[in-house]
Amino acid sequence: MLIVIPGALPTLPVAAELAKLLPERAPTLHGWLQAATARPEPFDVRAHGCTAFESWQLARAGYRPEPGLLQGAGLGPLLAAGQAANGEPVWLAELVHLALGTDQATLLDPGMMDLRAEETATLLETVLPLFEGTGFAVEPLSPERWRLRLPDGLRPQTASPLAVAGQRLNDWWRQDAQTRPWRRLLNEIQMTWHGHPVNDARAARGLPPVNALWLYGGGSPWPVAAAGAEHVFTELDAPQRGGDWAAWLDALAALDAQRLRPLAGKNGLPGAPAELLLLGADRKVALTLKPRGGLLGLLPAPKKNWSAWWSHPA
């Protein structure tokens, strides 16, 4: 049994304080951490071009990074499943909000956009004429994203919007000559959407305006491997990315009671061998839980010093 929990590892500045609350808020997980053998590893978002959870999803699906591209490039064909059969590289454009500060711009977490299909259709209709004669082409995939076709020879290295969200865009926004055609088109799109009725309606609903597209993907389609029988619990992912630790603790308590506890045996541990994969922003930890059989099962299990990796860099 494999259990994958994205967002399970809090950022290091708050990890030690949250660790103190685990015995009360997540007693099942706490017991598992005490009993498991842990293998922590660092995770470099910039080197992968995607989050740790996206990296795991790509690896599970059988994607291997292509020469000159980051692993996150595979999100293009993965998220456009069923519409990427012609073998062309698949580029995506996420409909996003760029928040402009006094000295920097940041990308709002795409999970907060709450886009409606009719909004996306109207925004697309407004900007379709801008694509004519540019070498770019666009088609809708979902309310959140479109598929783009880029001019021949343009294959930038980009990162997924979830990997970039909340960080300084200057660290991710390429300003080289190769991407100038895309920046020019994007600037025209942004001007067209400024003050758009769709965004006025979104403001009335208390939602941020759609004021940009985030380009990412670029990988070529591959035969996607069938999903396994793992349990994937995503309840902690959004509050971890947003740094909302009160919401994270509430979600953790619910996950522990509703998801993990039913998988535990009488002694609180899984009745069969289990693997846990806990994912965070900059690290991941694989945990192995093995039942103690025979006479060992009658004795208290030795407790592992899990806080040694929970509150420190991998």
3-state secondary structure of 159: coil
* Domain, as residue range, for 70: 63-219
Residue 53 lies in a domain: no
Q: Do residues 179 and 243 share a domain?
A: no
- Does 294 score more than 60 pLDDT? no
> What are the C-alpha distances in Å from 303 to residues 34, 292, 306, 312?
5, 13, 9, 18
Q: Do residues 124 and 272 share a domain?
A: no
Residue 254 lies in a domain: yes
DSSP characters over 278-292: EEESSEEEEEEE---
Helices 245-255 + 12-25 axis angle, to 10: 40
Chain-wide mean pLDDT for the chain? Answer: 91
CA distance 3 to 101: 39
CA distance 291 to 267: 10
Q: Do residues 203 and 255 share a domain?
A: no
As given in the structure block, the two tokens for residue 209 are: 């305006």
Q: Say how many domains are in the chain.
A: 2
Q: Do residues 140 and 26 share a domain?
A: no
Residue 36 lies in a domain: yes
Q: Do residues 37 and 78 share a domain?
A: no
Q: Do residues 159 and 248 share a domain?
A: no
CA distance 75 to 53: 12
Which of residues 93 and 104 earns the better pLDDT score?
93
Residue 299 lies in a domain: yes
- Confidence (pTM): 0.93
Q: Do residues 93 and 190 share a domain?
A: yes
Q: What mean pLDDT do residues 305-309 have?
A: 92
- Give start and end residues of each alpha helix (H) in the chain: 12-25, 27-35, 45-48, 52-60, 75-79, 117-127, 161-164, 180-193, 197-204, 237-242, 245-255, 307-310
- Choosing from 163, 191, 219, the residue where a domain stops is 219
Q: Do residues 67 and 184 share a domain?
A: yes
Q: Per-residue pLDDT tens for 189-218?
A: 999 999 999 999 999 999 999 999 999 999
Q: Do residues 74 and 208 share a domain?
A: yes
DSSP characters over 204-268: HTT-----EEEEEEEEPP--PPPP-S-EE--TTHHHHHHT-HHHHHHHHHHHIIIIIGGGB-TTS
Band of the pLDDT at 271, cuts 50, 70, 90?
A: confident
